[in-house]
Each structure stands twice: as C-alpha cells, then as structure tokens.
Amino acid sequence: MRPEISPRFRTAALSLFFLFTTAVIYPQDTLYGSFWCEYRPIVAGLEYPQTDEEAARQVLEEARYIFSGMIYGFSFRYTPSDRARKVSEIFELEPVHSIPWGDDNLKIITGTVDREYYRSEILYLLRDFQARRVEYWESNSFASATGTGSGDLFMGREGKYDAIREGVKEAVRNYLRPRFLNKPREITGEAVLADVPYIIIDAGGYHAKVRVKIDLRDILPYPVY
C-alpha cells in the first residue's frame, strides 16, 4: 500500500496540453516521482516503438539523474562577462555525485502506455545520510531561484538532460546577476534541484523549468591596483 502523500508535497493535476514530470517527498524519507518518455521516439537508431523494458529503463535512468540532483546537486563555477575587461562569460556545471545504476532503493511502482508516451511512478528510498542532505538543503538559509532551459528533441534523453542543465544554469545566473554591483572575477558554489523539473515538448524541443536551492562557496574579486 502506497503511503499517504503529505499535502505539502501534493502533485499538480496533469495538463491537457503539456507533458511533464512532478515529484513529491513522501514521509519516511522517500522521494517519489511520475516520469515519462516517448514510446515512439523519433531519435535515429532507437527501435520504433520502444519495448516496455526499454522505456522502463529510460524513465528509470531519468529518475536516477533527477533524484541525484535533488540529493547531491551540482557544483558550479561562474565568471560573469565583462566588456571593459574583455572577459567572456564562463559557466561550468558538474554533478556532485550520482545514485549508482542498479541501486536497489530505486524502484518502479507502475508503468503504463498513455497514447504515445510511457509513464511510470518511481520511488527512491533515502538512506540516512541522503535524508540528512535533503533536510539540510530544505533549510530556509538557502535561497531559491528558477530558470528555464531547452534541449533538442532529436537528441532523445540527452536532449531532455540538456534542458534540465540549461535550466539550472539560468536559475543560478538569475540569482547571481542582480546581487553584484561590481562584477567578481569568479563565483563558485553548489545548487540542488528543489523539486523535479517541469518538462514539456514544444516546437521541436524539450523545455524544462527548474527550481534550485543555492549555496555560494567563494566569491573572488578582481585584483585592485
């Protein structure tokens, strides 16, 4: 029997026009999400249509990526552009850590074919140290920010990941840019996904809206002569 969802984390109703992924955090240190992938992909080289096993593996891999982003997050290094100094913008984003493939705590609960899409509910049972990380990042001491990103539909799953990563980058930029009157040389920090990104397919691409929690680690100014 599936545990009752806390009202704080209830998922929104499905839109008639958009396909998206949502997630909630259950009681008892559990992450939960409803994930989807194209059952009849247009990516060259993939079987058309996918088998249920291939589709299940794809949504499971996506859940692993997103849940990792909610637990461990990403480290970033940001150099703002500066015309006066002839400095181009640099933004580097790297996952801090990932849930290993084959982790027994990552479980598919349901899997169904809905029109052209495979949909699945997936649970991840947090270990004690992971639950502590999630609780740490839920603290009000960390600011939150939102951003949107896009990825190429023809890239398949990688295009969806690109949309998520670009959304994280934009969220961090949106938070940092208005906060520094004098541009620093470099800013480093970490950001975690505050919830599962809202993802749609539109105009030949994936489009993701993400919300992150941000922890600034180091701000390096330009040297003063």
Structural domain containing residue 34: 7-220
Q: What is the pLDDT of residue 180?
A: 81
Asked whether residue 53 is domain-assigned, the answer is yes
Q: What is the pLDDT of residue 7?
A: 30
Asked whether residue 130 is domain-assigned, the answer is yes
Asked whether residue 119 is domain-assigned, the answer is yes
pLDDT band at 77 (very low <50, low <70, confident <90, very high): very high
Burial annotation 120-154 (CB, 10 A radius, 16+ → b, else e): bbbbbbbeeebbebbeebeeeebeebebbbbbebe
Q: What is the pLDDT of residue 16?
A: 26
Tens-place pLDDT, residues 168-196: 999 998 998 888 878 889 999 999 999 99
Asked whether residue 225 is domain-assigned, the answer is no
Average pLDDT in the 58-83 region? Answer: 93
Asked whether residue 142 is domain-assigned, the answer is yes
> Which is more confident, 111 or 10?
111
Query: What's the total number of domains in the chain?
Result: 1
Q: What is the pLDDT of residue 187?
A: 92
pTM of this structure: 0.81
Asked whether residue 1 is domain-assigned, the answer is no
Average pLDDT in the 125-129 region? Answer: 94
Asked whether residue 188 is domain-assigned, the answer is yes
